[in-house]
Amino acid sequence: MHTKTHSHIPSPSLSTHTHTPAHTHTHQGGREAERRRKERRRRKKRQGRG
């Protein structure tokens, strides 16, 4: 029983751990890129106006 439990725990844990950060990293990256693009556009407009 100990072996079965040990084998069953790392399997789902690893799958979830790998799936969670991957999804978060992708979402954060896309959001950061959009924010950076908006900031860059705003800066350009401000520079042109100033």
Question: What pLDDT digit, counting tens, does each position of 4-49 carry?
Answer: 655 555 555 555 555 555 555 555 667 777 777 777 777 766 667 7
Q: What is the CA radius of gyration of the chain?
A: 22
Distance CA 47, CA 17 (A): 44
Main-chain phi, psi angles of 9, to 5 degrees? -70, -50
> How many helices and strands, by DSSP H and E, does the chain display?
2, 0
**What is the rounded distance in angstroms from the CA atom of residue 22 to the CA atom of residue 29?**
11
Q: How far is Cα 9 from Cα 3, in angstroms, rounded to an integer?
A: 10
pTM above 0.85, yes or no: no
